[in-house]
Amino acid sequence: MAGAEAAPAIALQDLGRAYGERVALSGVTLSLARGQTLAVFGANGAGKTTLLRVLATLLRPHAGEVVVLGRRLPREGWAVRGRVGLLAHEPLLYRDLTARENLRFHARLHGVAGGRGEELLEAVGMARRGDEPVRSLSRGMAQRVAICRALLHEPELLLLDEPLANLDPGAAGAVAPLVGRGSGATRVLISHDVEQGLAEADLVLGLRGGRPALLAPAGAVSADDVRGLYR
């Protein structure tokens, strides 16, 4: 177990994943130390979300080796679940439940005390709207509740798919300490905001057609290098 704790947060070796005939990811090899941030860039359909879902144990890798938090996937997925927080494109919230009810539901699944949800709602400025059904919230508000859901169990690894999408500057400022560098968690961050993504990153991965087109420390990557991925 001590070895597992000392291992990198993420170690990928020739990771591949396909949907039927279509290859979504191929030949992804990288290592991310604990506490660091990997920024993932790429055009739509480049494989970013697939990578996130593999790391979250929601998709099985079809090729290569995947080690997350010292555990090999998919075999040891059970040991990784509950240590990972996923903020996906969809908020993963039940629309007919209120924000508080959603958080209570996820808190029970994760074995977390109810007070943690309240604390997070307060932190993202949603405490006053917490008793409204999610279906009545704006996209930005639902995104804030989704951030609370992803952070409820204080995950060691944060998988963030455009965490600031739909947020106004005030809300973005409120969630920054929770999902930004200050969170202290290891992060994989998908972003289309090149400058901001680079500023947050320690390591940069650029995907094109599911294959790595760019992999370098953030300091060695310019914004133009990243923009090249979208051409």
Which residues of the chain form contacts with other proteins (CB under 8 A)? 56-60, 78, 81-84, 86, 88, 90-97, 101, 105-106, 108-111, 149
What b/e sequence results for 8-35 when a residue is b if at least 16 CB atoms lie within 10 Å of its CB, and e otherwise?
bbbbbeebbbeeeeebbbbebeeebebe
Residue among 126 and 157 whose Cβ is closer to other proteins: 157
Min CB(90)–other proteins separation in Å: 5
Give one word for 14, left, alpha or beta, with left for phi > 0 and alpha for psi -120 to 50: left
Task: Closer to other proteins by CB, 85 or 197: give it.
Answer: 85
The set of residues, in sequence order, having a beta carbon less than 8 Å from that of 226 and lying 6+ positions away, is: 41, 194, 197, 198, 204, 206, 214
Nearest to 170 by CA among 133, 131, 126: 126
- The nearer residue to other proteins, 160 or 198, going by C-beta atoms, is 160
**Closer residue to other proteins (CB): 102 or 183:** 102
Tokens of 43: 């055009």
Report the nearest approach of other proteins to the CB of residue 3 (Å): 21
**Least CB distance from residue 171 to other proteins, whole Å?**
21
Comparison of 153 and 208: residue with beta carbon closer to other proteins: 153
Among the listed residues 87, 77, 39, the one whose alpha carbon sits nearest the alpha carbon of residue 57: 77
Residue 164 near residue 180 (C-beta atoms within 8 A)? no
φ and ψ of 213, to 5 deg: -105, -10
CB of 199 to other proteins, least distance (A): 28
**Smallest separation, CB 214 to other proteins (Å):** 28
